[in-house]
Amino acid sequence: MTRVGTALAAAVALLSVSACTGEEPAGGDPTTSAPSPRATSSPTPTPAAPTIPPEATEHSADGAAAFVEYYIAVFNHAATTGDTTALAAASTKNCQTCTGLIDRYIRIYADGGSSENPGWRPTITSSQLARGQFYVTVDLQTASHVYRPRKGSAVQHVKATTYHDIYRLKWSSGRWLVDRLAPQEVPE
């Protein structure tokens, strides 16, 4: 006999004996159960922002490229959580595009909206020093995704696309900051 068969036979025998003697089987009446504790719903914790990799802290062309990849990772995080803290910390106040992105996600989440991860995937095409600052050019692909600008609004669909951007980085107090973000076609 298998283990399951043996266990089932023992349970039937125990129930038969208790039925004949009028005594409850060990463990109490199997037809009643203790009330289960109420499940309490707790909010889903917001995932932590990406941490900056060591290579993104180097003052070099490779370090600048790694920092832009990190910046795009924190942008993806801000889009899906509304937490723009890391995005703001990685940008200068002079970067109008950066400030616009930060304000957009603050507004979406403050108004009860939401966003899927746009899945921005960067391909660095160059990273070079020019006029005392590093410029990193990027082909930035996004998957199709949806977002809701505010609670109760219609879902907005965004098609997959590729952008060709340039990031101007500033080295300040031993770390990189995005100082300008623009399409590559915009002259400096």
Summarised one tens digit per residue, pLDDT across range 124-160 is 999 999 988 999 999 999 999 999 999 999 999 999 9
Number of domains the chain contains: 1
Closest C-alpha among 69, 32, 65, 64 to residue 51: 69
For residue 62, being part of any structural domain is answered with yes
Beta bridge partners of residue 170, listed in sequence order? 177
CA gap 65, 157 in Å, rounded: 30
Closest C-alpha among 7, 26, 3, 178 to residue 87: 178
For residue 23, being part of any structural domain is answered with no
Closest C-alpha among 63, 153, 151, 81 to residue 113: 151
Phi first, then psi: give them for residue 51, nearest 5 degrees.
-95, 150
Q: At residue 36, does pLDDT exceed 60?
A: no
151 contacts 113 by C-beta, under 8 angstroms? yes
Q: At residue 111, does pLDDT exceed 80?
A: yes
Which CATH number covers residue 168?
3.10.450.50
pLDDT at 46: 73
Q: At residue 24, does pLDDT exceed 50?
A: no
Instruction: Return mean pLDDT, the chain.
Output: 82
For residue 49, being part of any structural domain is answered with no
120 contacts 134 by C-beta, under 8 angstroms? no
Structural domain span for residue 139: 55-183
What would the pLDDT profile of 45-72 be if each residue is shown by its tens digit? Answer: 778 999 999 999 999 999 999 999 999 9
For residue 28, being part of any structural domain is answered with no
Please give the distance of CA 142 from its chain centroid, rounded to a whole number: 15
The alpha-helical segments, DSSP class H, found in the chain are: 3-21, 61-81, 85-89, 96-110
